[in-house]
């Protein structure tokens, strides 16, 4: 068992490889996304079992809107189904759901489902689950700068007051601590515009496992690897 003090407080995951998983099996790409839902359930269950405080899942990037319209529509349908079917159980388990990203880009009915899930679970504390939907790290920083510029222009904020700590207050979810561990599945060695501000000192774990195959044992392997590391944050130990 991993000592609690060696566990990450916040784990972020880039869930990659659904389409490839399906294509490798001669199946439509959407089937990989559907199977990937069980990996999401497993990730949540494992985070709960290990007492992880925050889990952030990269569900749909701002750039994903460029995919074929049929695939985008299918993904929106999956999000609807997941929110309608899973939220009650997540609520029962004490999971608080927060959506982060340009939620206004989503279809109106899906926005309503998102806000309903957040309202229902807002007082839960066992696990804070953040779903990054229509999210982009650069877009988040640009949106933050726009908020700051508006306040400065209106005389409500002195530009000299802006530093790294105060800048965080203008991000989508300023209460969310920086990830301790970022997991990327499918073996791709890139960040893909995810949490660019927040991952400055995050530990990275890349696995060749495609997301539909990323289950409890894979998650535990990532936590075990993290527990063996010494974090320096730019200093020397």
Contacts of 11 (CB under 8 A, 6+ apart): 47, 52, 54, 55, 56, 179, 180, 181, 182, 183, 222, 223
> Catalytic: 16?
yes
Token pair 């926005």 is found at 111
Alpha helices per DSSP H over 69-215:
69-92, 108-121, 137-153, 164-168
Helix (H, G, I), strand (E, B) or coil at 88: helix
Identified catalytic residue from 49, 64, 105, 178: 64
Concatenate the DSSP letters of all residues of 10-71 into one string: EEEEE---HHHHHHHTT--HHHHHHHHHHHHHHHHHHHHHHT-SEEEEEEEEGGGGGS-HHH
> Catalytic: 64?
yes
Active site residues: 16, 64
């Amino acid at each position: 068992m991993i000592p609690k003090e060696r566990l990450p407080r916040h784990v972020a995951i880039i869930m990659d490889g659904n389409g490839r998983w399906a294509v490798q099996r001669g199946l439509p790409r959407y089937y990989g996304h559907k199977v990937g839902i069980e990996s999401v359930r497993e990730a949540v269950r494992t985070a709960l079992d290990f007492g992880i405080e925050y889990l952030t899942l990269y569900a749909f990037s701002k750039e994903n809107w460029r995919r074929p319209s049929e695939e985008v529509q299918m993904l929106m349908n999956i999000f609807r189904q997941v929110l309608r079917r899973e939220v009650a159980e997540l609520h029962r388990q004490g999971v608080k759901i927060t959506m982060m990203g340009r939620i206004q880009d989503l279809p109106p009915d899906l926005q309503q489902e998102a806000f309903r899930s957040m309202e229902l679970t807002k007082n839960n504390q066992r696990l804070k689950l953040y779903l990054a939907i229509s999210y982009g790290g650069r877009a988040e920083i640009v949106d933050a700068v726009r908020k700051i510029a508006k306040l400065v222009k209106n005389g409500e904020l002195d530009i000299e007051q802006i530093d790294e700590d105060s800048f965080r207050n203008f991000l989508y979810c300023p209460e969310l601590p920086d990830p301790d561990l970022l997991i990327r599945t499918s073996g791709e060695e890139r960040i893909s515009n995810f949490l660019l501000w927040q991952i400055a000192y995050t530990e990275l774990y890349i696995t060749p496992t495609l997301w539909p195959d990323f289950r409890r044992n894979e998650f535990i392997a990532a936590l075990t690897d993290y527990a063996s590391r010494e974090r320096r944050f730019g200093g020397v130990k």
